[in-house]
Chains A and B, each alone.
Chain A
Amino acid sequence: MRTRIRILAILGSWALLVGSVLGDDTADRTVAFGDYLFRQGDYYRAITEYERFLFLASDDPRRNPVRLKIGAAYYRGEKWEAAGRQFQELRAKAGNTESGRQAGLYLSAIALRQKDYGRALNYMEEFIAAHPADPRRDAVMTELILTHLRRQEAADAGRLLEAEIKAGETGVKVTAADLDEWRDRSQKSPRLAGALSAVLPGAGQGYVGRWSDATLAFVVNGVFIWGTVAAFDRDEDVAGSFLLAMEATWYFGNIYNAVNGAQKVNRATDERFFDTVKIRYGLTFPPDGGDNLIPVVGVSGTF
Chain B
Amino acid sequence: MKNGARMRLLRAAFGSVRSSVVGGAFFWIFGTAIALADEPWSIQESAPIIQTGAVLPPNMTFPHPVPDGFVKTGCYIWLMAYQKGFGRFSASKCPLKPSCSNYSLEAIAQYGGFWGVLMTADRLFHEGSIRQTAPWVRDIDRIRFLDPVYDNVIWRTEP
Which residues on A are within 8 Å of B, measured CB to CB? 41-45, 76-81, 114-119, 150-152, 190, 205, 210, 212-213, 216-217, 220, 249-250, 252-254, 256-257, 259-261, 263-264, 268
For B120, what are the chain A residues with a Cβ–Cβ distance below 8 Å? 253
Residue of B with least CB distance to A44: B40
Bound Cα distance A222, B158 (Å):
36
Other-chain residue from B44, B128, B154, B158 in contact with A212 (beta carbon distance below 8 A):
B128
- B40, B43, B48: the one contacting A45 at CB < 8 Å is B40
Q: Are the C-beta atoms of B41 and A44 separated by less than 8 Å?
A: yes
Contact status A260-B57, CB under 8 Å: no
Chain B: CB-nearest residue to A48: B40
Pick from B40, B48, B121, B158: contact of A78, CB under 8 Å: B48
Q: Does B39 contact A (CB under 8 A)?
A: yes
- Tell me, rounded to whole Å, the shortest Cβ–Cβ distance linking A57 to chain B: 24
Checking A76, A80, A117, A212 against B159 with a beta-carbon cut-off of 8 angstroms, the contacting residue is A117
13 A-B pairs whose Cβ atoms sit less than 8 Å apart in the complex: A41-B44, A43-B43, A44-B40, A80-B55, A81-B54, A115-B57, A117-B158, A212-B129, A250-B121, A253-B122, A254-B125, A256-B119, A260-B154
With A118-B159, A150-B158 as known contacts, state yes or no: A77 contacts B121, CB within 8 Å.
no
Task: Give the Cβ gap from B154 to chain A, nearest Cβ, in Å.
Answer: 5
Contact at A210–B126, with CB atoms within 8 Å?
yes
Whether A42 contacts B159 by the Cβ 8 Å rule is: no
Q: Are A115 and B158 in contact (CB under 8 A)?
A: yes
* Cα separation A78 to B54 with both chains bound (whole Å): 8
Are A257 and B57 in contact, with the CB atoms below 8 A? no
**Which residue from A114, A116, A260 sits with its C-beta under 8 Å from B122?**
A260
Please classify the interface of chain B as helix (H, G, I), strand (E, B), loop, or mixed, using the class held by over half of its residues: loop
Contacts A78-B55, A81-B54, A119-B159 hold; do A213 and B39 have CB atoms under 8 A apart? no
The answer to whether A216 and B125 touch across the interface, beta carbons within 8 angstroms, is yes
Q: Which 9 A-B pairs have the closest CB atoms?
A: A253-B121, A44-B40, A257-B122, A257-B125, A256-B118, A256-B122, A212-B129, A78-B55, A114-B57
B43 contact set on A, CB distance < 8 A: 41, 43, 76-78
Number of interface residues of B (CB under 8 A): 29
Closest chain B CB from A157 CB (angstroms):
14
The answer to whether the Cβ of B152 comes within 8 Å of any Cβ in the partner chain is: yes
Contact with A along B125-143 (1 / 0, CB 8 A): 1101100010000000000
Q: Which chain B residue lies CB-closest to A114?
A: B57
A259/B57 contact (C-beta < 8 A), A41-B42, A253-B125, A268-B133 known? no
| Contact residues in B for A253 (Cβ distance below 8 Å) | 117-118, 120-122, 124-125
Residues of B with C-beta under 8 A to A44: 39-42
Nearest neighbor of A40 in chain B, beta-carbon distance: B42
B54, B121, B159: the one within 8 Å of A257 (CB): B121
User: In the complex, A76 Cα to B55 Cα: how many Å?
Assistant: 11
Residue of A nearest to B133 (CB): A268
